[in-house]
């Protein structure tokens, strides 16, 4: 499933450069993740980088965008032909 950024985000920007899919951008008040580009870093890393670098644990799985590892891998391959 894609990740999302919660309201606990302090807009530090640590997550944005870590995303291999350019899924993270600065929103109006907090950073946001585009679920159409988020692959949980499947295809690039063993774990979600945004979650690893977030100092306030604001990057969490988004239950509204559930996907299998196979679907995430296919999405990554489509984003990185």
Phi/psi for 43 (5° steps) reads: 100, -20
Confidence class for position 25, pLDDT limits 50, 70, 90: very high
pLDDT of residue 68: 94
In terms of residue numbers, what domain contains 41? 3-79
Average pLDDT of 35-40? 97
CATH code of the domain containing 43:
3.30.70.20
The tokens of 49 are what?
Answer: 């980088």
Number of domains the chain is built from: 1
Confidence class for position 13, pLDDT limits 50, 70, 90: very high
Task: Summarize pLDDT for 41-77 with one digit per residue, the tens.
Answer: 999 999 999 999 999 999 999 999 999 999 999 999 9
Q: What is the number of alpha carbons within 13 Å of residue 33 lying toward its C-beta?
A: 31
Q: What is the 3-state secondary structure (H, E, C) of 2-22?
A: CEEECCCCCCCCCCHHHCCCC
């Amino acid at each position: 499933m894609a990740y999302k950024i919660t309201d606990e985000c302090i807009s530090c920007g640590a997550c944005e450069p870590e995303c291999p899919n350019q899924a993270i951008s600065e929103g109006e008040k907090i950073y946001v993740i585009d679920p159409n580009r988020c692959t949980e870093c499947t295809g690039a890393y063993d774990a979600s980088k945004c979650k690893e670098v977030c100092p306030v644990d604001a990057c969490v799985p988004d239950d509204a965008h559930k996907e299998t590892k196979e679907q995430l891998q296919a999405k990554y391959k489509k984003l990185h032909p």
